[in-house]
Amino acid sequence: MPQRSKASSKRARRRAPAAALAALAFTGCAGAALSASEPQVVAKIETGTAPCVPLGAFGSVWVANFGSAGLTRIDPAVNAVVGTVPVSLQPCGLAAGAGSVWAASFGLSRVDRIDPDRMLVVKRIRVGLEPYDVTFAFGSVWTSDNASSRVSRISPRVNRVVKKIRPGLGPAGFAFTDRYLWVGSSINRAIYRVDPRTNRVRTIRLSQAARPAWLAAGNGNLWVSSVTDGAVLRLDATTGRVRARIDVGAGSAPGDGSVAADGRVWIPLRGQNALVVIDPTTNTVVARIPVGTGPFVVNEAFGDLWAGSFGGSDVWRVRP
Q: What is the pLDDT of residue 37?
A: 73
Indicate the DSSP class of residue 157: T
pLDDT at 12 over 60: no
Q: How is 74-106 classified by DSSP, letter by letter?
A: EETTTTEEEEEEE-SSSEEEEEEETTEEEEEET
Burial of 112 (0-12, 13-18, 19+ CB in 10 A): buried
pLDDT digits (tens, 9 = 90+) for 278-316: 999 999 999 999 999 999 999 999 999 999 999 999 999
**Strand locations in 196-283, DSSP E?**
200-205, 212-218, 221-226, 231-236, 242-247, 258-259, 265-269, 274-279
- The whole-model pTM stands at 0.91
Count of CB atoms within 10 A of residue 102's CB?
29
Burial of 36 (0-12, 13-18, 19+ CB in 10 A): exposed
* Separation between Cα atoms, residue 252 and residue 28, nearest integer Å: 9
* Separation between Cα atoms, residue 137 and residue 241, nearest integer Å: 23
Q: What is the pLDDT of residue 286?
A: 97
Burial of 275 (0-12, 13-18, 19+ CB in 10 A): buried
% of the chain exceeding 90 in pLDDT: 87
Give the CATH class of 10-319. mainly beta
Please, are residues 32 and 280 in contact by the beta-carbon 8 Å criterion?
Answer: yes
Closest by CA position to 245, among listed 233, 228, 237, 258: 233
* Separation between Cα atoms, residue 287 and residue 247, nearest integer Å: 13
Side chain identity at residue 38, one-letter code: E
pLDDT digits (tens, 9 = 90+) for 207-256: 999 999 999 999 999 999 999 999 999 999 988 999 999 999 999 999 99
Which residues are CB-contacts of 63 (< 8 A; sequence separation ≥ 6)?
A: 47, 48, 51, 52, 53, 54, 55, 71, 72, 73, 74, 308, 315
Q: What is the pLDDT of residue 211?
A: 96
Phi then psi for 198, rounded to 5 degrees? -120, -15
Euclidean distance between the first and final Cα of the chain, in Å?
A: 23
Q: How is 12-40 classified by DSSP, letter by letter?
A: G-----SHHHHHHHH---TTPPPPSSPPE
